[in-house]
Chains A and B, each alone.
Chain A
Amino acid sequence: MTKYLIRRLIQTIPVLLIITVIQFGLINAAPGGPLKAYLLDPNISPEDVKRLEHEYGLDRPLPIQYLTWLGNLLAGNLGYSYFTHRPVLETLLERLPATLELGLAATLISYLIGIPLGVYAGLHRGGAVDHAIRLGTSILNAVPHWWLGLILIILIANLKLATGFQLLPIAGRVTLGQPYNLFDNLWHLILPALMLGTGGWVTFGRYLRSETLEVLSQDYVRTAHAKGLSAHVVTFRHVLRNALIPVVTISAGLFVGLVSGAAIYEQIFSWPGMGRLVLDATLKKDYPVSIGALFIFTVLAVLGRLISDLAYGWVDPRIRYD
Chain B
Amino acid sequence: MTAQTSAYTRGRRGITAGQFGPTRASRNFWSDSWFRFRRDRLAMIGGVIFLLLCLLSASAPLLSEHVTRYDPNRINLRETYRPPSAAHWFGTDEYGRDYFTRAVYAGRISLSIGLLFAAISLAIGVPLGLAAGYYGGRSDDLLQGVINVMNAIPFLPLLIILGSMIKFTWVGLAVLLAVLGWTGASRQVRGLVLSIKRRDYVLAARTVGARDGRIMFQHILPNVFSIVLVIVGFDVASAILTESALSFLGFGVQPPTATWGNMLSNSLAYTTKDPWLVVWPGLLISLTVLSVFLLADGLRDAMDPRLRGK
If A19-B153, A154-B275, A290-B160 touch, does A263 touch B249 (CB 8 Å cutoff)?
A: yes
The CA of A16 and the CA of B249, in the complex, are separated in Å by: 28
B interface majority secondary structure: helix
Q: Assess whether B286 is interfacial by the CB under 8 Å rule.
A: yes
Check A282 against B279 for contact (C-beta < 8 Å).
no
* B275 CB contacts on chain A under 8 angstroms: 154, 158
If A150-B268, A151-B279, A264-B249 touch, whether A297 touches B154 (CB-CB below 8 Å) is yes
B277 → chain A closest CB, angstroms: 10
Can you sample 9 A-B contacts with CB below 8 Å? A18-B149, A22-B153, A141-B290, A142-B237, A142-B287, A151-B279, A260-B154, A283-B250, A297-B154
Within 8 A of B (CB), among A256-271: 256, 260-261, 263-264, 267
Are A142 and B293 neighbours in the complex by a CB distance under 8 Å? yes
| Residue in A26, A151, A157, A275 whose beta carbon sits within 8 Å of that of B161 in the complex | A26
- Tell me the complex Cα distance, A22–B153, Å: 10
Interface size on B, residues (CB 8 A): 40
**Are B153 and A298 in touch, CB under 8 angstroms?**
yes
A285 within 8 A of B: yes
A29 within 8 A of B: yes
Cα distance A29–B158 in the bound complex, in angstroms? 13
Determine the residue in chain B with the shortest Cβ distance to A29. Answer: B165
A19 to B249, CA, bound (A): 25
Q: Counting CB contacts under 8 A, is A146 at the interface?
A: yes
Q: A141-B289, A290-B157 are in contact. List 11 more A-B contacts (CB 8 A).
A: A14-B145, A26-B162, A143-B285, A147-B264, A147-B278, A150-B264, A150-B282, A264-B248, A275-B157, A282-B160, A294-B154
Asked if B153 and A285 make an inter-chain contact with CB atoms under 8 angstroms apart, the answer reads: no
Count of chain A residues with a beta carbon within 8 Å of a chain B beta carbon: 48
> How far apart sit A107 and B245, CA to CA, in the bound complex (Å)?
21
B286 contacts which of A16, A144, A261 (Cβ < 8 Å)?
A144
How distant is B278 from chain A, measured CB to nearest CB, in Å?
A: 5
Q: How far is the CA of A147 from the CA of B155 in the complex (A)?
A: 19
A144 and B241 contact, CB distance less than 8 A? yes
CA of A146 to CA of B145, assembled, Å: 33
Within the complex, the shortest CB–CB distance from A211 to chain B, in Å, comes to 18
Residues on B with beta carbons closer than 8 Å to the beta carbon of A290: 157, 160-161, 164
